[in-house]
Homo-oligomer: A and B are copies of this chain.
Amino acid sequence: MTPSEHLDATFTALADPTRRAILARLARGEASVAELAEPFAISQPAISKHLKILERAGLVSRSRAATRRPCRIEGAPLAAANAWIERYRDLWESNYRRLDTLLDELQPERKPTPPKP
Contacts and interface: CB of A to CB of B under 8 A. Distances in A.
A7 interface: yes
Report the copy number of this chain in the oligomer.
2
A85 interface: yes
Given A7-B20, A88-B23, A95 B75 contact: yes
B4 A8 contact: no
Kindly state the interface size class of chain A when it binds its partner. 20 to 34
Which of A11, A23, A87, A94 has the most CB atoms of chain B within a 10 A radius of its CB?
A11
Nearest to A5: B17
A81 interface: yes
A94 B73 CA distance: 13
Contact of A8 (B10, B16, B73): B16
